[in-house]
Amino acid sequence: MQPVLTFTDSGIYCPAGDFYIDPWKPVNRAVITHAHADHARPENRKYLCTKDSVPLLHLRLGQDIAVQGMGWNETLQMNGATISFHPAGHMIGSAQVKVTVGGQTWVASGDYKTENDGISGQFEPVPCHVFITESTFGLPIYHWRPQSALFSDMEDWVKANEQSGKNSILLGYSLGKAQRLMYNLQHTGRHFLVHGAIYNAHETLRNAGWNLPPVELITQETPKERFKNSIIIAPPSTADSTWMRRFAPYSLGVCSGWMQVRGNARRMNADAGFAISDHADWQGLLDSIRQTGAEKVFATHGFSSVLARYLQENGIQAEEVKTAFGGEEETAVQTPA
């Protein structure tokens, strides 16, 4: 029996449906799991994604792209394959792609996390014969604390900074992580001042109807008084940049799963590291894989060889697959050796 999905030089391909999932080279039909740059690339002829991802694809790829949005669990027949989208919980609009051909069901997870962050939806395990999983944090050392505890720590950190006369800057990926931070810190009553990259993504989502807190764009004209009693949100690329100097004196906090490893915050010259990730931790990966009931697992981007070997040793057929995925959180911070 021909496999439902194959791994090619252009991406994950469905022969029966003649489409690619998150292709990394231009193709005719691209089915997109979510709007991060390593999964939603330009120059494809047609795009298919969740309805919630449509405005984000327009933001990232331009208003003139040909894109169709689908609702959760809605099915679409594409040639000889049936497609549906299911919540991945990674960021707003992120989905797993379920593909069924001739009674065989494969699921490509894209990126996912298992804790509901309040805005991205709850990850839903999808029963399947074959599961394609990410493995960004596929090592046993990665174990996330509940986000309620992490946000409590952030709030205490902001209060301590204010008492010390310092401005608080949190670094997080502009699309997904930044919105998660602000949504879950809005109860503090602080204003949110943001970098331009975050402002554009945030306003796109607010204009699409998402109930996210208002933000203020930081410009050259923003007075220093505005930084007080505020939380400044910026992308990781601004660390140690001239853009940061206007906020002095400040305290810098990095929000990334890599902060689980002692020393990574110090390498970024950060004052605090918060191990908050939009990817599943080790146990989350294992639980999700088992819940699918999959007979075989393909592990992609991240610690894929470790995860595949562990699954094999525990009675699950598994293979490591090399892909061109691995973007926002994998490159935002120096990864551990």
What CATH code is carried by the domain that includes residue 199?
Answer: 3.40.50.10890
Domain match, 284 and 250 both: no
Q: Where are the beta strands (DSSP E) in the chain?
A: 6-7, 12-14, 19-21, 29-31, 46-50, 67-70, 75-78, 81-87, 95-101, 104-108, 130-135, 167-171, 191-194, 216-217, 230-234, 250-255, 272-274, 296-302, 317-320
Domain match, 137 and 159 both: no
Domain match, 47 and 72 both: yes
Dihedral through CA 42, CA 47, CA 51, CA 54, nearest 10?
30
Domain match, 103 and 165 both: no
Domain match, 304 and 269 both: no
Residue ending a domain, among 274, 289, 321, is 274
Tell me, yes or no, whether 1 lies in a domain: no
* 63: enclosing H helix or E strand: none
Residue ending a domain, among 274, 304, 320, is 274
Domain match, 60 and 35 both: yes
Burial of 63 (0-12, 13-18, 19+ CB in 10 A): exposed
Q: What is the pLDDT, as a whole number, of residue 329?
A: 56
Distance CA 68, CA 101 (A): 21
Task: Output the six-digit token pair for 108.
Answer: 């490509």
Burial of 322 (0-12, 13-18, 19+ CB in 10 A): exposed
Domain match, 203 and 321 both: no
Q: What is the pLDDT, as a whole number, of residue 266?
A: 76
- Phi and psi angles of residue 5, each rounded to the nearest 5 degrees, phi first: -125, 145
Distance CA 150, CA 213 (A): 19
Domain match, 234 and 289 both: no
Task: Output the six-digit token pair for 281.
Answer: 């931790």
Task: Output the six-digit token pair for 329.
Answer: 């959180």
pTM for the model: 0.94
Encoded amino acid at 236, one letter: P
Total of domains in the chain? 2
CB atoms within 10 A of CB 209: 9
Q: Which residue has the tokens 């469905």?
A: 14
Domain match, 195 and 321 both: no
Domain match, 96 and 10 both: yes
Tell me, yes or no, whether 93 lies in a domain: yes
Q: What is the pLDDT, as a whole number, of residue 264?
A: 83
Tell me, yes or no, whether 337 lies in a domain: no
Distance CA 75, CA 82 (A): 7
Q: What is the pLDDT, as a whole number, of residue 334?
A: 42
Distance CA 143, CA 97 (A): 26
Q: What is the pLDDT, as a whole number, of residue 1?
A: 66
Tell me, yes or no, whether 103 lies in a domain: yes
Distance CA 132, CA 98 (A): 10
Per-block average pLDDT, block size 10, for the chain (337 residues)? 92 98 97 97 98 98 97 97 98 98 97 97 98 97 97 98 97 97 97 97 97 97 94 94 93 96 81 96 98 98 96 97 76 42
Q: Which domain holds residue 18?
A: 6-141+279-332
Q: What is the pLDDT, as a whole number, of residue 240?
A: 83
